Amino acid sequence: MITLSEENYLKAILSINLNTNSVVSTNEIASNLNTSAASVTEMVKKLQDKKLVIYEKYKGVNLSKKGREKAIEILRKHRLWETFLVKKLDFSWAEVHDIAEQLEHIKSKKLTDKLNHFLNYPIFDPHGEPIPTKDGTIPKTKRITLNKMPLNSKGIVMGVALDNKEFLDYLTKLQISIGTKVYAIDRISFDQSMKIKINNKLEHISKEIAQNILIKIN
């Protein structure tokens, strides 16, 4: 049996590992889960006993095959439920994360499969993130962050790298959503903020915002 807490640790480790592509440190997990490093050390030892992670004292943690499978399963459920909430229940993309944080822990393989079928086998979640497939692969996407767009080039918003309500509400206010066409006009060298054109309107966005918008360039 794998507890809710253990599931959250596995998910955090996966998420950090997908970003850094390297071994995961105690501190990174602690900050991701808003908990103390001491608690992480404790839990990581338990996960090791259960063969869910590979852990070397003072060196860091990696998911085992079994642990990775479990983590991806949770990520899959999270993104399927988010898709359900937006597509079927008419929630906005900014509202669904916290609810999906709860729903991702519902245990029933059959439920996950039926939900997937009901949603017509979606490939991306409402934030443009790829939904892991049943066999545990995460579809690769090649996208760049808006702050890396060449000037005077155009692109299409494919997703966001941050599932945070304030951020998403702000994008909505700017009328930025998935599929929106973007033209990169200028990058201010002082603060790396960017001037862009969206729906024929000129906007000025901070580096922090630009870093979290994922773009496909033609």
Partner DNA sequence: GTACAAATTTAGGCTTGCCTAAATTATTTT
Partner DNA sequence: AAAATAATTTAGGCAAGCCTAAATTTGTAC
Interface residues with DNA (CB under 7 A)? 3-6, 25-28, 34-46, 55, 57-58, 60
Which residue type does 14 have?
Answer: L
Single out the residue of 85, 209, 213, 215 in contact with its own copies (rule: CB under 8 A): 85
Exactly one of 115, 160, 168, 176 binds its own copies (CB under 8 A); that residue is 115
**Residue 201 site contact among DNA, its own copies, Mn ion, none (CB < 5 to 8 Å, cut-off depends on kind):** none
The residue (of 39 and 92) whose beta carbon lies closer to DNA is 39
Query: Whole-angstrom Cα distance, residue 19 to residue 109?
Result: 27
Q: Which CB, 15 or 177, lies closer to DNA?
A: 15
Q: Which of 76, 81, 73 is nearest to 119 (CA)?
A: 81
Task: Specify which residues 49 forms β-bridges with.
Answer: none
Establish if 125 lies at the interface with Mn ion (CB under 5 A): yes
Q: Does 69 bind its own copies (CB under 8 A)?
A: no
Question: Of its own copies, DNA, Mn ion, none, which one does residue 43 interact with (CB within 5 to 8 Å by kind)?
Answer: DNA
Nearest distance from C-beta of residue 55 to DNA, angstroms: 7
Count of positions on this chain that bind Mn ion (CB under 5 A): 6
Which of the choices Mn ion, its own copies, DNA, none does residue 19 contact, using the CB cut-off of 5 to 8 A by kind?
Answer: none
- Examine residue 135 and tell whether it contacts its own copies (CB under 8 A): no
25 contacts which partner out of Mn ion, DNA, its own copies, none, CB within 5 to 8 A by kind?
A: DNA
127 touches Mn ion by CB under 5 A? yes
Rounded to a whole number of angstroms, the minimum distance from the CB of residue 111 to its own copies is: 6
* Helices 4-20 + 37-49 axis angle, to 10: 100
CB 4 within 8 A of CB 105: yes
**Min separation Cβ 69 and its own copies, Å:** 21
- What does the binding site for its own copies look like in residue numbers (CB under 8 A)? 85, 88-91, 95, 98-99, 102-103, 105-108, 110-111, 114-115, 118
